[in-house]
Amino acid sequence: MNPASLNVYCDTSPAIRLLRSPNAPFVVAFLNRQFKETESISIPESELQAALVAFQEEVHETWPDRLNSPASTYLADWRESRLLRRAWQDGTKEPVYQLTPAAEQVIEFLDRHHEEQLEFVGTECRLRLVIETLERLVIGASADPRVHLDHLRAERDRIAQEIEQIENDGVVTPYRPTRIREQFATAVALLKQLQHDFRAVEEQFREITRLVQQRQIQGLDSRGGILGQALDAEDALRNDDQGVSFYEFFSFIQSPTQQERLRAIIQQIVRIPELAAQTEGVETVRRMKAVLLAEAGRVTQTERRLSATLRRLLDVRAQRERQRVAELLREIRGLAAGMASDPPVNEVSLSVDAGIAFSLPLSRTLWSEPPELEHVDLTQQTGDSDETWQAFADFARMQHLDLSTFRSTIHTATLGRGRLRLSELLDQYPPESGVLDVVGYLQVAAEDGHLIDATASEEVVVPSNNGHLRLAVTVPLVTFVANISPGSQP
């Protein structure tokens, strides 16, 4: 590192720009909460914007002068600042947002240093890890068979001596609680670091795809030239240390044997009593297999997108179709420009046949082990008679929903009108049990085939259980139709 390169990096890096921002604590906290704490790779735009609005309200309770712009403005700004990526995914009706490598770096940096300020730093564990890693490196890098044999014999003698001592004494010396927590904290930190590293590999695949698409649009090279550059770049990535490491990891995590081994280790880790207080770390380890598979799947999905781009580049027919589409678009723009001064009075529409479904051979999802229920040993559990009777008493006091009464009320109300909405029904027949009556009417509407519009909603006001308050409840738009028998369709 030298001052010149660091100066350029600090001026152009999105990560440094975020750290310099006065809103950095709030931006990082929000992105970490939405993406990292929930283990989410992609979040729909509407969901992320609604979460940001709620987060702003939470922030304004303590810092009323921060994050005062609309949520959509911040999302657009973070997208332009290369903290978030906005993209479309297969099967989604709206764009989704993903973290960029720059945002991952900032979250990982602050998460690591923030934890070091709040918790102990496992210096002994890390020193042992460094020494053991260097020792394995020295042995593994040697081509001398004697070095490997000496190491294996020393390990054999050490293991044999430890086995003999345990068999003779019947006593083992487990790790101290401090060392257990140190090693666990180191493992969790490495796991989080691993999740951040995926972004770098994915970004390189995305950059190759972007390069191919740009050169194809510009028409500067022949298809053969573009293909050669793309294949050279992909080959360089696969042979690069980072790419080699990723594909070795991919083969490792895809192995059913290794997945079973990892599952067994996780089950034993979560039962260690010294880690009972490490709830966040234990939960991170518990979800690590699913998270790592999802992260690997995301990288391979980006690679499949590159493969699809290259296939389209080689397809002569697709090339002609793209040229024809480009000509039609130019004609449409010309016609639109000619009609700009005298636009048509009638509505202009466009009809698109979207009934044809396409699928790619490489679009299959990654194999994952079927979910298994965790075995919980309850043989040592003893029941509490007082709690049992209290549970029965609570169950007996639960209010029963008589659906036949609700159906009779609906039948009577719709006889003269033919149909009416749920809000109108509640106005005519006020609910006696508050929200429970609303639930009952919704259940009858779903079972008997009344009209339910999930895309629309209405607000109904019902009394609370204590009768002193009135509650406003938002429900789907339900329309009850006359002469519908249970289970029928209108």
Q: How many residues can be counted in the chain? A: 490
Nearest-angstrom CA–CA distance, 304 and 298: 10
Looking at residue 419, its amino acid is R
Nearest-angstrom CA–CA distance, 64 and 59: 7
Name which of 301, 314, 299 is nearest 212 in CA terms: 314
Every domain of the chain and the residues it spans: 12-103, 177-308, 403-481
- In sequence order, the 6+-apart residues with CB closer than 8 A to the CB of 420 are 413, 414, 428, 479, 480
List C-alpha distances in Å: 306 to 190, 239, 484. 30, 17, 54
Would you state the structure tokens that stand for residue 67, as one six-digit string? 């994050």
Name which of 214, 174, 29 is nearest 114 in CA terms: 29
Its pTM stands at 0.42
Nearest-angstrom CA–CA distance, 18 and 12: 11
Which DSSP string do the residues of 200-254 spell out, in sequence order?
A: HHHHHHHHHHHHHHHHHHHT-S-HHHHHHHHHHHHHHHHHSHHHHHHHHHHHHHH
Give the fold, CATH level 3, of 12-103: Arc Repressor Mutant, subunit A (1.10.10)
Tens digit of pLDDT per residue, the chain (490 long)? 678 777 887 888 888 888 888 889 999 999 988 988 887 888 888 999 999 999 998 888 888 888 888 888 999 999 888 889 888 776 677 888 988 888 888 888 887 776 554 344 555 666 666 777 777 777 788 888 888 898 889 889 988 988 888 888 888 888 788 778 777 777 777 777 776 666 666 666 667 666 665 665 555 555 566 556 656 655 655 665 655 666 667 677 667 787 788 788 888 887 888 877 777 777 777 777 777 777 777 667 666 666 666 665 555 555 667 677 878 888 888 888 777 777 776 666 667 666 666 665 555 666 666 667 766 665 555 556 677 777 777 766 666 777 888 888 888 888 877 788 888 888 888 887 778 888 888 888 888 888 888 888 888 888 766 556 677 888 888 888 887 665 554 4
